Amino acid sequence: MSKIERDFLCLYGHFSQPHRGNPLTGIIGSEEKAAPYHNWNERITNMCYRPNAEADNYRHISFSFGEPLLEWLQRRAPETYQKIIDSDQQTGHNALATAFNHTILPLARKRDKRTQILWGIAAFEHHFGRKPLGFWLPEMAVDTETLGLLAEAGIQYTLLAQQQIRNLPPQSGAGPFLVELPRGRSIGVFVRDDGLSSELSFNIHNLGGAGKWTRNVLLPMHHKTRGRLLLLATAGETFGHHYAGEEQFLHWLVNREAPSIGFYMTTLDEYFTTHAPDQKIQIEEPSSWSDQRGLANWATGQPTGKSNTTWRGALRRALDNAASELDSAYETATRLQKLDPWELRNQYAPVLLGTMSADELIAQCAPDVKESDAIKQLLAAQELIQRSYNSYTFTDDHLDGSQIRYAIACAATALAAAQRTTNHDMAERFVSDLAVVASGSITGTAILRSVNEELNLELEIAN
């Protein structure tokens, strides 16, 4: 190897799958489009998660895993799961936490942002046995309030795209940089190289392999960046699922090709602990790594040449109104017992992770509570409505997509639980709100009627 000053390179992959199937039982069941596999989790595990584990790729990159996926892997693909966990311990830490339900955080209410962050951190500690330094924001969606809540929770850094930064210093590499926040707080931010990350994300099949790409693209970058960090960040499913077999591209890139031209492969945790953020930057807000219109893709939908997804705005309003009704019932029940409803919800993660029962949690928070059944039902309803806001709910272009159906099913199941507890009709507003969620002949109300019958929820839905 020539005597070129050493640069640092980090590959980052975010791996995620949504909750699927029956929200009452957690059973995914059969998904026809995942054939020849039983469902999408099985298919993508065999195309991506397991091959990357067998190639030992997780040990050489930084990564985050969404909780629904990691929990499924723990149960259904334990060898792959253990490889992921071991890779964090073998490298001196390369895993980051992420929001529990993969929510687009800038579009959430402040208390929901806080819950998603705290649940996500609790899930990370449950799996990896340590506190996280960094936090992946789903879709890299960011605003100042979200960064402030991350800092409040003890998170030290996140990562964003170049297009999300206002005053990025020229030729400064990936940082880390410093974002100053209200109340005297601050947080570190790594910034990915958008052009090279997009090449990997959308054109990896046409790059001629890791060796050719390294010589033609990374070597010239190496001469320009001199001693700084180059960060490439993409969806982890790029390597094997979006592009079959490309876990081998990743393997050769991080194990041989990039080191052969002088790059030192590092992780974000490793780099952050030895390079304190100093240069200050400002974020574009709200923004994400892909949406150029203030998160409109997930907030209101957009009319495009291919499709019109503006029904997403009506769906979000319907979910928001359902959440408000559930919140009201939950607040009433908890405050009658002199409990802080949102502090209790923030501490609910051990119940979701199976390390504590709801009874134990309530007894711990309020030893004098005698009748806890209503609170338990309404806490479960809170978790279900949080699932509805998964980013995947707002990425399908078709209203009859499986993730929209799942979101409506979660909201309906939550409303049914609250209805049993309060003896009030909790579905009337949801039914009318879903009536205007329409695309062609399909309506949200028709989907609700279908899941109500399938899950036997006993909600009152007028014909």
Tell me: pLDDT of 404 over 80: yes
Tell me: pLDDT of 155 over 90: yes
Q: Mean pLDDT in the chain?
A: 94
Distance CA 238, CA 361 (A): 40
Instruction: Give per-residue burial for 149-179: e unless 16+ CB within 10 Å, then b.
Output: bbbebebbbbbbbebbbeebeeeebbbbbbb
Domains of the chain: 7-274 (3.20.110.20), 300-454 (no CATH)
Q: For position 463, what pLDDT does the model report? A: 64
Tell me: pLDDT of 223 over 70: no
Q: At what angle do helices 428-435 and 402-422 cross, to 10 degrees?
A: 160
Q: Which residues contact 72 (CB under 8 A, 6 or more apart)?
A: 17, 41
348-389 pLDDT, tens digit each: 999 999 999 999 999 998 888 877 899 999 999 999 999 999
Distance CA 48, CA 441 (A): 37
110-145 pLDDT, tens digit each: 999 999 999 999 999 999 999 999 999 999 999 999
- Decide: helix, strand or coil at residue 170: coil
Q: HSE (CB half, 13 Å, CA atoms) of 213? A: 19
17-27 pLDDT, tens digit each: 999 999 999 99
Q: What is the mean pLDDT of residues 432-453?
A: 96
Q: For position 305, what pLDDT does the model report? A: 75
Q: For position 43, what pLDDT does the model report? A: 98
268-324 pLDDT, tens digit each: 999 999 999 989 999 999 999 997 778 999 999 988 877 899 999 999 999 999 999
Residue 2 — very low, low, confident or very high, per pLDDT cuts 50/70/90?
A: very low
Q: Tokens 């309404």 — which residue?
A: 378
225-272 pLDDT, tens digit each: 667 999 999 999 999 999 999 999 999 999 999 999 999 999 999 999
Return the DSSP state at 62: E
330-352 pLDDT, tens digit each: 999 999 888 999 999 999 999 99
Percentage with pLDDT > 70 across the chain:
97
